[in-house]
Chain A
Amino acid sequence: MSAPSFRAAFAGIVRRDLRLAARRKSEPLFSLGFFVLVASLFPLGLGPEPELLRRVAPGVLWVAALLASMLSLGRMFVADFEDGTLEQLALAPVPLVVSVSGKVAAHWLVSELPLVLVSPLLALQYGLPADVIGLLMISLLIGTPALSLVGAIGAALTLGVRGGGALVALLVLPLYVPTLIFGAGAVDARLAGLSSAANLSLLGACLILATVFAPLAAAAGIRIALE
């Protein structure tokens, strides 16, 4: 019997989750639809003042992305928990951290990457200039993986809890604050004609920190839920 390979386990879980998402197309579309709707409601509610819209755009788009990403968090581990797959992952000869990282990566690809890709279209509604739209995409590209990672902790901790969805929101939203501040701040800075390098660096730091610690914390949470 060959020694278990971490890379094969990671790739295996990403591939399986992508395949499952492809078989069940509606679920990944929920958070995308939510993002599009929320981001489109603000211009309708605030009125057509270009100056005002442009000023609120970074914050509104980032908050909308944050809420949309939270919508899909609840599902990250629940299905695997209910059908016993999570037990098998915990008993696999690779560390649970590896499988959890794979699940987070798959979650990002399925639920968050579409948000990043559609964000330029939504930004057009706010009349943002092209270079700011580019920066918005970059900030979302760095920030959303951090959201998935931090969200995994909340999703793991609420496994098997009734009304877990609302609890995830309460647990995770405060942890999203740094990502939101630096992400929206980077776009804001560019909009004001300043350099956004500092904000982007701090956003990157958030991502690195989350990459190192979040899978460990989520794996520990899952072990507790399984006991």
Chain B
Amino acid sequence: MLSANDLECVRGTRRLFAGVSFRLHPGECLLVQGPNGSGKTSLLRILCGLARPERGEVRWNDAPIWRIDEEYRAELAYCGHSNALKDDLTPSENLLAAASLCGQPASRGAAADALEAFGVRQLDALPVRALSQGQKRRVGLSRLALAARRLWILDEPLASLDARAAQALAGLVDAHLERGGIAVLTSHQPIELRAEVRVFAFT
């Protein structure tokens, strides 16, 4: 269970948000909405533990995330604005490297399956440099399919995805929620999930 208690975020001298609280149980999905610059990304980075809130805390199974640190990060998959891909490596090399950097090496077959989930397996002969923006995004997102994590935090996962890839992502998120996973995502495009989505809107 992920809970946010009275989070406040200050950037420079501006207070982005205050008093943000919610609880997410297994199988629940939270969609964070709001105009540009309203603090969606900041909220997500606080939930990951990349940034520290000015006030309040994030808890995972009732333990503050800063205390359980690595235990929490073992449950977490985060996809930010950048895809965290190396231009000089092929998609599957990127996935395998990402898995081993987490100390959880994966097999070639598993990486191929993860790419298949986003329909980018046939691109594996090329270095990521040669891929289009949307294809890179899909490769970046296939990390979700490779590592079994219980909490997905996705920042604008639909950015530069086409309709079919967006559908693939929605399917993956649905399957994740059915397995008892939790997802937090931001999106400017509508995302069609079978599961019920809770919406948190910034003004």
Contacts and interface: CB of A to CB of B under 8 A. Distances in A.
B103 A84 contact: no
Interface size class of B (residues with CB under 8 A): 20 to 34
A98 B83 CA distance: 22
Contacts of B74: 1, 4, 93
A20 B90 CA distance: 11
B201 interface: no
B139 interface: no
Contact of B83 (A2, A4, A7, A84): A84
Interface string B95-113: 0011111111100000000
Contact of B101 (A2, A12, A84): A12
Contact of A8 (B83, B105, B148): B105
Contacts of B98: 88
A23 interface: yes
A6 B99 CA distance: 12
A8 B84 contact: no
Contact of B51 (A83, A93, A227): A227
Contacts of B52: 227
Contacts of A15: 97, 100
A2 B100 CA distance: 12
B198 interface: no
A16 B97 contact: yes
Contacts of A91: 48-50, 73, 76, 78
Contacts of A99: 101
Contacts of B105: 8, 12
A87 B104 contact: no
A83 B84 contact: yes
B166 interface: no
A23 B87 CA distance: 10
> Among B51, B86, B99, which residue has the most Cβ atoms of chain A within 10 A?
B86
B196 interface: no
Contacts of A92: 73, 101-103
A95 B70 contact: yes
At the interface, is chain A mostly helix, strand, loop or mixed? helix
A11 B131 CA distance: 28
Contact of A23 (B50, B89, B102, B103): B89
B137 to A, nearest CB: 12
Interface residues of A, number: 34
B97 A12 contact: yes
Given A91-B50, A92-B73, A227-B50, A85 B104 contact: no
A75 interface: no
A9 B102 contact: yes
Contacts of A89: 101
A1 B148 contact: yes
Given A9-B102, A12-B101, A88-B101, 18 more contacts: A1-B148, A5-B103, A6-B103, A9-B101, A12-B99, A12-B105, A15-B97, A16-B86, A19-B89, A20-B89, A85-B86, A87-B50, A87-B78, A91-B78, A92-B101, A93-B102, A93-B104, A94-B102
27 contacts: A1-B147, A4-B70, A4-B102, A8-B100, A8-B103, A8-B105, A9-B101, A9-B102, A9-B103, A11-B100, A12-B103, A13-B101, A15-B100, A19-B93, A20-B88, A23-B88, A23-B127, A24-B88, A84-B81, A85-B86, A87-B82, A91-B73, A92-B102, A94-B70, A95-B70, A98-B103, A226-B51
9 cross-chain pairs, A with B, having the tightest CB-CB distances, nearest first: A12-B100, A84-B82, A4-B103, A93-B74, A9-B103, A84-B84, A23-B88, A92-B102, A16-B97
